[in-house]
Amino acid sequence: MLGPPGAGKGTQAERYATSRGIPKISTGDMLRQAAHDGTEIGLRAKDTIARGELMQDDVMIGIVRDRLAQDDAQQGFVLDGFPRTVAQAAALDDMMAVRGPLIVVEIVVEEAELVRRLSTRMVCERCGATAHGFGSGGKKALECRNCGGSLVQRSDDDDAVVRERLKIYQRQTKPLVDYYQARPTFRSVDGLQQPDRVAADLAAAIAAAGNGVGR
């Protein structure tokens, strides 16, 4: 799934993966977990994520290649957060050469809405679930609906970092649309709709793209 930060890729990827019984593979989640665990890659990722920047291509390609080789990904998977550069996309094509087809869906949301969503996004410190809106009780009063853990703002959802992330997306990640757009397995979905409508359009787009020929 392609789309800028705040487009809803994570939510929709999780919904689709769960409904199909395949893994959702989120490079962002893997890097944040590595940072929490204090691994070598995690420590490198922590500072990079906090600045709103992208991890180096070779690091991300290696992480994804290892993950796609695992047993649970052999019957299909949903990638969220990878590829983010054309170099990563080319590497993914190599990985998919004997697996295809690779279906690519872009979730489209205008920038003003992205800034609004990200500036009000909260995550659970305990289970990592995402929520939106601070509520009348303030940030500290919010609790996760899933597990009751505390909801906090992600470090990379600070207003200044959000705008930097969007600039980086436009500069480095948007060219992916040009890279994939001519393929019969590429589709776009309107991310400004209600989540259920986005999910339905996404499923229909993937089904239609699956009938495309080649990658």
Do 39 and 93 form a contact (C-beta atoms < 8 A)? Answer: no
Of the candidates 44, 46, 126, 154, the residue annotated as catalytic is 154
Is 116 a known active-site residue?
no
Q: Give the β-pairing of 130-132 and 121-124.
A: antiparallel
Of the candidates 9, 15, 67, 187, the residue annotated as catalytic is 9
Is 51 a known active-site residue?
no
Of the candidates 67, 84, 117, 187, the residue annotated as catalytic is 84
CA distance 173 to 156: 17
Which range, 15-19, 25-29, 137-141, 175-179, is most confident?
15-19
Place of tokens 């229909």: 204
Is 197 a known active-site residue?
no
Eight-class DSSP state of 26: E
Structure tokens at 103: 């279906």
pTM for the complete prediction?
A: 0.73
Is 126 a known active-site residue?
no
Q: Which CATH number fits domain 9-109+158-209: 2.30.110.10, 3.40.50.300, 3.50.50.60, 1.10.3720.10?
A: 3.40.50.300
Over residues 86-118, the pLDDT tens digits come to 999 999 999 999 887 899 999 999 988 988 888
Over residues 142-152, the pLDDT tens digits come to 778 778 888 77
Taking alpha carbons only, the member of 177, 184, 117, 123 closest to residue 149 is: 123
CA distance 51 to 120: 18
CA distance 56 to 96: 21
Of the candidates 15, 32, 117, 121, the residue annotated as catalytic is 121
Of the candidates 15, 24, 32, 165, the residue annotated as catalytic is 165
Is 9 a known active-site residue?
yes
